[in-house]
Amino acid sequence: MLNREDVLDFAHERYGVRPDYPWKKFPNFAVIRHEDNGRWFCLIMDLTRDKLGMEGTEKIDVLNVKVRGEFIGPLRERENIYPAYHMDKNNWVSIVLDFTRNKEDIRDLIAESYELTAG
């Protein structure tokens, strides 16, 4: 199972960045940004399952990443990937970290999000 620490560690090791937590109301919402332009390339949130249309109200960790438009449809057909919560659903997806096992797929999506938000 993948967790928020895996994502934060990957972002730090690969891109030399640490998260910031811009909302007092949501202290567990971690924004991962480019150092040079300040743009987000990841957002990690703890949400209740119902926010993504799932059954129940237990909290889960969710990762938002930007993806190429042509991949939005196929990605959303995959298990644990949903239309982006609280972001542009045409360019971003939400991934339930708590149920995701393939770290390489997530790392690839983070790398793509980094590239798409670079300039």
pLDDT in tens, 16-44: 999 999 999 999 999 999 999 999 999 99
Name all domains of the chain by residue range, CATH numbers in brackets.
4-116 (3.90.1150.30)
Q: Tell me the pLDDT of the chain averaged across its residues.
A: 93
pTM to 2 decimal places: 0.93
pLDDT digits (tens, 9 = 90+) for 53-72: 999 999 999 999 999 999 89
| pLDDT for 73 | 87
DSSP code per residue over 16-73:
----B---TT-TT-EEEE-TTT--EEEEEEEEEGGGGT-SS--EEEEEEEE--HHHHH
